[in-house]
């Protein structure tokens, strides 16, 4: 690849622009519900053992708590440095002898006030080590599943995948089904979506193709999820349905704390703790 720095900057600009559009749409939904909730943005710098890493980069945590979105975080970050020797061997293209990396991405998790509205997760990212690649995806996490919503969510991502490769959707859907599985519960975290990683950019042409696909993944999310929110956010719900939601959130928290690779990556690379753990729900129960 000719210039990873320039490519990282282009990816970062896209992730930040996607963040701005998503946050504006979510705030618009809050206005429609009669709420004046808005995102609060907190910048952070990469740290190691409590000290800021010089030239280590950082990010911005965006957080909103409203009437529709009980808690939603939309984070962007761009960090660089070296992995620990022990962790480097687990990352594509890194090793104890070559631990350097850059990473830029957007990560979103929304926990909804109404249990009929599905929770959701989405992220896309671009990383470089001795290799360079894109990863990401989106998955729907309804406490009370509706087949109509599941079909519509998957159809949007299938259309995005099919514009690039007819093999992408079945491959990445299966990857999501396999990844978002809670082994100790023997259940899936939600109703799936797509998940992909290591779309490698060996040259500029590969970068452009994979970057275009990653942008379409982001567009698919902003096209479909707000529609699902507006469809369900005015529905009445019972205390029993709210309890179902809180119990489901417990499963969600278990996955993110025990099995999620993104949580581990953030903790191992000096990320902001609050931004990393923004994926946890505001309230959950274990029966």
Express each pLDDT in 63-77 by its tens digit.
Answer: 999 999 999 999 999
The enclosing domain of 128 has a CATH number of 3.40.1500.10
d(CA 263, CA 232): 29
Active-site residue 164, yes or no? no
In the structure encoding, which two tokens stand for residue 263, read together?
């949580």
Q: Is residue 83 part of a domain?
A: yes
Q: Is residue 284 part of a domain?
A: no
Q: Is residue 287 part of a domain?
A: no
Confidence of residue 2 (pLDDT cuts 50, 70, 90): very low
State the chain's mean pLDDT as an integer.
91
8 Cα distance to chain centroid: 18
Average pLDDT over residues 194-213: 96
Q: Is residue 64 part of a domain?
A: yes
More confident position, 259 or 84: 259
Q: Helix H segments across 33-166?
A: 85-88, 147-162
d(CA 66, CA 134): 32
Q: Is 1's pLDDT higher than 60?
A: no
Q: Is residue 209 part of a domain?
A: yes
Pick from 165, 80, 168: nearest CA to 126: 80
Q: Is 89's pLDDT higher than 90?
A: no
**Residue 93, Ramachandran bin (φ over 0: left; ψ between -120 and 50: alpha; else beta):** left
Q: Which domain holds residue 218?
A: 4-279
Confidence of residue 51 (pLDDT cuts 50, 70, 90): low
Q: Which of 7, 116, 121, 154 is catalytic?
A: 121
Q: Is residue 285 part of a domain?
A: no
Q: What is the pLDDT of residue 8?
A: 95
pTM for the complete prediction? Answer: 0.91
d(CA 236, CA 232): 9
Q: Helix H segments across 202-260?
A: 204-232, 239-258
Overall domain count for the chain: 1
User: Cβ contacts of residue 190 below 8 Å, gap of 6+?
Assistant: 118, 119, 139, 140, 141, 142, 180
């Amino acid at each position: 690849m000719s210039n990873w720095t320039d490519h990282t900057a282009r990816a970062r600009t896209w992730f930040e622009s996607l963040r701005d559009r998503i946050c504006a749409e979510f705030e618009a939904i809050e206005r429609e519900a009669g709420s004046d909730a808005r995102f609060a943005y907190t910048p952070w710098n990469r740290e190691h053992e409590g000290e800021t890493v010089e030239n280590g980069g950082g990010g911005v945590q965006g957080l909103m708590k409203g009437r529709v979105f009980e808690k939603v975080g939309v984070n962007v970050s761009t960090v660089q440095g070296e992995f620990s020797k022990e962790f480097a061997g687990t990352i594509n293209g890194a090793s104890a002898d070559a631990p350097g990396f850059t990473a830029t991405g957007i990560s979103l998790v929304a926990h909804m006030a109404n249990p009929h509205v599905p929770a959701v997760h989405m992220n896309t990212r671009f990383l470089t080590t001795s290799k360079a690649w894109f990863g990401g995806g989106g998955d729907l996490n309804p406490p009370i599943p509706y087949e109509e919503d599941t079909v519509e969510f998957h159809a949007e991502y299938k259309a995005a995948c099919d514009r690039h490769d007819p093999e992408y959707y079945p491959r990445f859907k299966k990857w999501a089904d396999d990844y978002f599985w809670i082994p100790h519960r023997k259940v899936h975290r939600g109703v799936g979506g797509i998940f992909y990683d290591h779309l490698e950019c060996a040259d500029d042409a590969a970068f452009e193709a994979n970057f275009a696909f990653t942008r379409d993944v982001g567009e698919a999310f902003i096209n479909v999820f707000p529609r699902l929110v507006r469809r369900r956010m005015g529905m009445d719900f019972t205390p029993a349905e709210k309890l179902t939601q809180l119990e489901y959130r417990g499963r969600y928290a278990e996955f993110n704390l025990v099995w999620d690779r993104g949580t581990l990556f953030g903790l191992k690379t000096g990320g902001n703790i609050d931004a990393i753990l923004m994926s946890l729900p505001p309230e959950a129960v274990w029966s």
